[in-house]
Amino acid sequence: MSTRIPERIQSVITSRGTSPATTPPGTPEAAPAQAGARAPQPARDAFETRSPGLDSAALRGAPLATPTYTDDADPMKHIAYLSSDELMGRDSPSDGLSAASAYVQQLAQKYGLEGPNTLNPSNPYQQRFPVYSFLDGAREAGLANDDAWSHGTHREFGHTLFEEGFYLDDAMPADTRELLTQKYEATQHSAGKPLAPRTEPMSVDALRQAAKQDGKAENTMALLKGTGPHADEVIVVMAHLDHVGTSRGQVNNGADDNASGSAVLLASLPELAEAQKAGKLDRSVLFLWTGAEEKGLVGSQYFVDHPIPGLGLEQISGVINMDMVGRWDDQRLSVVDTHSRNKPNYFRELLDTANQRMADPFDRLNQDINEYRDRQDGAVFTRKGEDVLFLFEGLSNPQGGGELMEDYHQPTDDIAKIIEDNGGNKPRRVKDLMVDIIQQASNRTA
């Protein structure tokens, strides 16, 4: 599969010194962005006045200097591809999401990571699952079209479990069926339809009769095996790979949501693979890019309900989830590093240590997103008693807090906004922080 970055994306990309760059003949070299600096003026102009699919310089016929990101360890290289129009917003299910999954697999194989899903011998880097939606309820309650139904207007970040979609199979555990039954009852109530009293969750067959299958999506995973005495334990590092597709003829590229988190995982592979080769990873590290998060944490719940042999909950000793980590300046980061009772888990100490060891530590590690603890993939693991670190930067106040940023689930969530905010330095710094935390978690003695 080609990983070519489309010309539309190239026209606004600006790299800094850590990534090799090429400049078209006859154009001046672009100055590298300094930490915390805004993007160079051509990139800002291109975004601020662009029409759909074209930037302002292209409309004027004036070519921009187009340095390219070529370093696998640079998250901006991967954001550029994952948020390109070619992937059509990475809906679940869709060809765009499958292309993103193939891109992830290609890089994992390049750095020697294994496909751990022995239950899928044809492609052990993938865990495929069906995606369903209810026939009745919210769809019949007056939503105008499939675009509106697929991903309705969100006034807060994230999703509760099975909010807009779900999986079904005969092995679905009773507690998951109970959650889904409650969701079905809520849709029926919203449509004004009566419900018979019940004492048990609906059967899978009954749920199938009330639903339609939209297709199959995939979780993508890669394993970096530990080399120490705790190699049978695993640190899960995850980000959702999907986004919300298209709406009203426009592509919702999801550069920040969540090409940014997915790209941080990808960019960490080269350094962590080197650490593993040097015998510096005790526990194993499972990289997990989930599908159908935007439908209601579907892929993460499927993963928990369908354990990969040797990678079940009993082997997991910590989870890190990243979502929307590309925006604003590069000196702040919002985190959840507490249990459901708001007590710090072991990641708080690792996070503080990693930040202090950075050449330029984050000035602000904000504790301003606890209200979103249950609306992200990590919540699936928190409910099972796992320690979870959640990183997220999607609120509107650059100093921390506020409402959802205006670009959330909009076509304006494009790579140019990340460049405008911080020149790509934010996701790079998050990657550096995360590599340190992952290594600490892999080697912790407690």
| pLDDT at position 445 over 60 | yes
- Of 48-62, 302-316, 341-355, the one with minimum mean pLDDT is 48-62
| Pairing of β 364-366 and β 316-323 | unpaired
**Terminal-to-terminal C-alpha distance of the chain:** 43
Of 122-126, 165-169, 402-406, which gets the smallest average pLDDT?
402-406
| Mean pLDDT, residues 401-406 taken together | 78
The Cα–Cα gap between 191 and 139 comes to 9
| pLDDT tens for each residue of 207-221 | 999 999 999 999 999
pLDDT at 350: 97
What values do phi and psi take at 295, rounded to 5? -90, -10
What is the reported pLDDT for 415? 94
Which of 32-41, 61-70, 171-180, 399-408 tops mean pLDDT? 171-180
The confidence band for 153, taking pLDDT boundaries of 50, 70 and 90, is low
Q: In angstroms, how far is CA 219 from the centroid of its own chain?
A: 11
With 90 as the cut, is the pLDDT of residue 201 above it? yes
Mean pLDDT in residue range 40-68: 34
pTM comes to 0.82
Whether the per-residue pLDDT at 354 is higher than 60: the answer is yes
Query: Domain 74-127+218-443: which CATH class?
Result: alpha beta
Residues ≥6 apart with Cβ < 8 Å to 397: none
Q: Has residue 34 got a pLDDT over 80?
A: no
User: Measured between alpha carbons, how far is 27 from 100 in angstroms, rounded to an integer?
Assistant: 32
Give me the residue spans of the domains in the chain.
74-127+218-443, 129-211
- Quick one: what percent of the chain has pLDDT higher than 70? 79
Q: According to the model, what pLDDT value does residue 186 have?
A: 87
pLDDT of the residue at 12: 37
Which residues, 6+ apart, have CB-to-CB distance to 55 below 8 Å? 8, 11, 12, 46, 47, 64
Distance of alpha carbon 375 from alpha carbon 402, whole angstroms = 17
Confidence grade of residue 181 (pLDDT, cut at 50, 70, 90): very high
**Confidence tier at 189 by pLDDT (50, 70, 90):** confident
Q: How high is the pLDDT of residue 68? A: 76
Given a cut of 50, whether residue 132 has pLDDT beyond it is yes
pLDDT of residue 397: 74
Rounded mean pLDDT of 168-197?
91
Q: How confident is the model at residue 17 (pLDDT cuts 50, 70, 90)?
A: very low
More confident residue, 423 or 25: 423
Mean pLDDT of 341-366: 93
Q: What average pLDDT does this structure show over 2-10?
A: 44
pLDDT higher than threshold 50 for residue 394: yes
3-class DSSP assignment, residue 409: coil
Please, what is the average pLDDT of the chain?
82
- The structure tokens listed for 290 are 């989930």
Q: Determine the distance from the C-alpha atom of residue 29 to the mean position of all C-alpha atoms in its chain, rounded to a whole number.
A: 33
pLDDT on residue 19: 35
Distance of alpha carbon 311 from alpha carbon 224, whole angstroms: 12
Share of the chain above pLDDT 90, in %: 63
- At residue 156 the predicted structure's pLDDT band, cuts being 50, 70 and 90, is low
Separation CA 282–CA 266 (nearest Å): 20
pLDDT surpassing 70 at residue 55: no
Q: Letter for the amino acid at 230?
A: H
pLDDT, average across residues 44-67: 33
Q: Pick 151 or 24 by higher pLDDT.
A: 151
Residue 205 tokens read as 């067959």
